Amino acid sequence: MKYLHAMVRVRDLDASLRFWCDGLGLVENRRRDYPQGRFTLVYLGAPENPDSEVELTWNYDEEDYGSARNFGHLAFAVDDIYASCERLLTMGYTINRPPRDGHMAFVRSPDLISVELLQKGEALAPAEPWASMANTGVW
C-alpha cells in the first residue's frame, strides 16, 4: 500500500492557492479540470516529499462546507517556525495557536482547514512576539 493524498474542498481556488503555495510553500504538481463534472482538482506537494499530496477540490457550484472542524488537520514540518508564521501573518492570516514553545503552531486556510506547523528538529528558543501571543479562535 502507498499513501497518496488528503483531499480538501475549497471555496475559492485562487485564495486557497495563495495560502497553500505562497503562504506555506507547497508546489502545484498537476491540475485537472473537469468542466462536465463542474470541478477542478489541483494536487500540491511539499518540496521535500512531493509525492505525498494535498488535493484541492474546487466545485464550480457553491456549497456550504461548514466550519471544517470535522476534518482534523494537516501537518507540515518547517525549517523555521517563526519565519513561517511571520510570512503567514504578513499575508493576513491569523496564527490561531502561536509557536510560543518554538515547536508548534496552528493556522487555518481560507477554507477553515486546520494546518499544524512543526519545527524540524529541536524546538527553537522561545522568542517574542510569539512567546506572549495568545491563542485566537479555534483550530
What pLDDT shows up at residue 66?
79
Active site residue 116: yes
Among candidate residues 62, 116, 122, 128, the one labeled active-site is 116
What pLDDT shows up at residue 45?
97
What pLDDT shows up at residue 72?
78
What pLDDT shows up at residue 70?
65
pTM of the model: 0.86
Reported as half-sphere exposure (CB side, CA atoms, 13 A), residue 22 has a value of: 13
Residues of the chain with pLDDT under 70: 69-70
Those residues with Cβ within 8 angstroms of residue 84's Cβ, 6 or more apart along the chain or in another chain: 24, 78, 105, 117
Distances (CA, A) of 2 to 25, 51, 52: 24, 10, 9
What pLDDT shows up at residue 3?
78
